[in-house]
Amino acid sequence: MQETLETSETEETAAAEPVVASAGSRLGSAWTLLKQAVKGTQQDYTEGSLSKAVFLLSVPMILEMVMESVFGVLDVYFVGRLGADAVAAVGLTESFLTVTFAVAIGLSMSVTALVARRIGEKQPEEAARTAVQAIALGFAASLPFALAALWTRPLMRLMGAPASVVEIGWGYTAWMLASNASIMLLFLINAVFRGAGDATVAMRSLWLANIVNVVLDPCLIFGLGPFPELGVTGAAIGTAIGRSVGVAYQFRALASANGRLRIERRHLHLDRRLMLHLAKVSLGGVGQFLIATASWLGLVRILTPFGAAALAGYTIALRIIIVALLPSWGMSNAVATLVGQNLGARKPERAERSVFMVGLYNMAFLLGVMFLFLAWGEPLIAVFTSDPEVQRLGAECLRIVSYGYAFYAWGMVLVQAFNGAGDTKTPTWINLGCYWCFQLPLAFVLARSLGYGPLGVFLSITIAESALAVVGLLVFRRGAWKRQEV
Residue ranges, the chain, pLDDT below 70:
1-28, 69, 71-73, 75-76
For residue 81, the model assigns a pLDDT of 80
Question: Cα(278)–Cα(271) distance, rounded to whole angstroms?
Answer: 11
380-404 confidence digits (pLDDT tens):
888 878 889 989 999 999 999 999 9
Question: Cα(131)–Cα(448) distance, rounded to whole angstroms?
Answer: 49
For residue 273, the model assigns a pLDDT of 92
Distances in Å between the alpha carbon of 144 and those of 148, 180, 244, 267, 278? 6, 10, 19, 26, 19
In degrees rounded to 5, what are phi and psi of residue 385? -155, 150
For residue 91, the model assigns a pLDDT of 75
Could you give the dihedral angle defined by the CA atoms of residues 370, 73, 440 and 475, in that order, rounded to the nearest 10 degrees? Answer: -60
Nearest CA-CA partner of 207 in 59, 31, 70: 70
For residue 246, the model assigns a pLDDT of 95
Distances in Å between the alpha carbon of 106 and those of 17, 134, 179, 250, 277? 54, 12, 19, 20, 13
Contact call for residues 447 and 454 (beta carbons, < 8 A): yes
DSSP readout, 399-425?
Answer: HHHHTTHHHHHHHHHHHHHHHHTT--H
For residue 386, the model assigns a pLDDT of 84
438-463 confidence digits (pLDDT tens):
999 999 999 999 999 999 999 999 99
Model-level pTM? 0.85
Domain chopping of the chain, boundaries: 45-270, 284-486
- Please report the sign of the dihedral spanned by the C-alpha atoms of residue 362, residue 365, residue 368, residue 370: negative
Which DSSP helix (H) or strand (E) runs through 101? Answer: helix 84-120
Task: Show the beta-strand stretches assigned E in 240-293.
Answer: none
For residue 83, the model assigns a pLDDT of 81
Nearest CA-CA partner of 64 in 334, 282, 279, 438: 334
Q: Which residues contact 55 (CB under 8 A, 6 or more apart)?
A: 33, 37
